[in-house]
Amino acid sequence: MTCCRPGANRVYYARNHDTSWFYHFNGYTRRFMALDAIHALFGIPEVFAGDPENGPHPDADPGVYGYYQKLFALRKRWPEFAPGNVLLREVECNNPWVFSGLRKAENASALGLVSLSDQSETVEFTFRAAGIGPAGELKLLDVQTGETIAVQKKRGTNVASVNLKPYQVLVGRL
């Protein structure tokens, strides 16, 4: 039995005022921030502003603050990452260190790939349904650097591959 109605939004916290009581918070590490990218692009972002008793705070470091600014700016520019439907089964990645998913809003669809690895990872991802995915070249945008990466689908398949840097967040419109 579930206490939430079908279609209810579920909120998961990576950090809030209670978490410091239960485990040691190691700060805004690159892996933690990659996890927050998944929350921001595929969930309901809940960025904890900090606890005066248990630092650090996300706005205390300009790099951390800038990271969140870029994520939220992308959500504003690409509406499919805000109110769009979350589709997690339509794209499958062969690497357990890389999160993959699609967002769809009206006539726009976008792919998101987030590496949780501290190493460069070459991954293959498969669009599982016919008609999903790009017809040819797919351009992925690094959310933090603005770099564009061209990805070619394997001819005659729904499979593409890309090399992700440690903790890299890539998005692309389909």
| Per-10-residue mean pLDDT, the chain, length 174 | 62 62 73 90 74 70 89 91 87 94 89 96 84 70 95 83 96 91
SS3 109: strand
| Cross-strand pairs, 139 | 150
Cβ distance 116 to 149 under 8 Å? no
| Cross-strand pairs, 145 | none
What confidence score (pLDDT) does residue 26 get?
75
List every span in the chain annotated with CATH 2.60.40.1180.
Answer: 80-173
- Using alpha carbons only, give the angle 64, 147, 164 rounded to the nearest 5 degrees: 80
* pTM given for the model: 0.85
If one counts every other C-beta atom within 10 angstroms of the C-beta of residue 15, the result is 20
Cβ distance 67 to 33 under 8 Å? yes
| Cross-strand pairs, 109 | 104
Task: Provide the CA 97 distance to its chain's centre, in angstroms.
Answer: 12
What confidence score (pLDDT) does residue 1 get?
45
CA separation, residue 22 to residues 29, 55, 56 (Å): 18, 14, 16
Cβ distance 99 to 114 under 8 Å? yes
What confidence score (pLDDT) does residue 110 get?
92
Secondary-structure class of domain 80-173 per CATH? mainly beta
